[in-house]
Structure 1
Amino acid sequence: MTDFGAPTDTDRLLRNAHDRYSGMLRGFVISLPYDAALADDVVQETLLRAWQHAEILTRPEPVVRAWLCKVARNMVIDDLRSARRRREIVVETLPESAHDDDTDRLFERWIIAEALSTLPADQKAVISGAYHGGRSVAQLATEFGIPTGTVKSRLHYGMRALRVALQERGVVS
């Protein structure tokens, strides 16, 4: 349909061609032999080409049928001869799935360590103690001999600076 208005003659011809020939085309494509899952794509593309050459749809039924089958057959042959098909190797069993290695984790640690190295020593020590050492604010305050409020502010400003450092490295948005 053009412009969502009334159907044109071409639209009617295509709809009639679809109703009349799509089942026959699908059976024809599968009989070539061709993958049944891809047969619907071939039928759709064949009917699209018929729409692009709408004058063929005005011809007698045997001519339309032969033209559609020829187009579908050529599409199947082209696909079977394609480089994609030649390079595809069919195997009985799927290969092993990739196993997870530590590369990503090591890379993340390296980037974080590099970003941590840009922080002032007092902020770096508090962040390392809290996140890597698993110590509480009270434990860190006792360890460093500073008030808990100072530990909290160093954590806050240190984490803010760490975020900026990671943004500069493209890790955090």
Structure 2
Amino acid sequence: QNEAQDFLFIATERYKFCVLQWDAEKSELLTRSMGDVSDRIGRPTDNGQIGIIDPDCRLIGLHLYDGLFKVIPFDNKGQLKEAFNIRLEELQVLDIKFLYGCVRPTIVVLYQDNKDARHVKTYEVALKEKDFVEGPWSQNNLDNGAGLLIPVPAPLGGVIIIGEETIVYCNANSTFKAIPIK
């Protein structure tokens, strides 16, 4: 937040990350931060690593291992603080995104249960408690081909869920609108 330019966050398959900044005066790339986000426990995700950044620049979220969501918070000066894990109930995560316009950083998780049904659920990230708080809404039994989440900026908010047969819009006001794909 409050920076004159954007930064680039890169995470590798070997669980390393860096934050890069372009210095226009020197015409060079600077490394603002770097680190290791590997854990000794956990099974790497089958669906690939997911890295997301809160739209209000409060934290970076990583889904690297089944059942875990790694949080890298920012301090007041925009520097990265120590990373921590939060247990994630959903084991077969297909996509995760941050929602716009939320008081607390809020994620929406698209997941598949053990009966192959797909659902979305939201969680607020409580940074002080280093835990999730039940989010403002959820939606069960989506299109079985649902695989992509697109967060919708304010003033509407919510998320668009792209499936094989439908496109669905959901938000915290219990708005649910499905459009069939022809």
TMscore range, shorter length? under 0.3
Q: TM-score, normalised by structure 1?
A: 0.23
Larger radius of gyration: 1
Report the structure, 1 or 2, having the larger helix content: 1
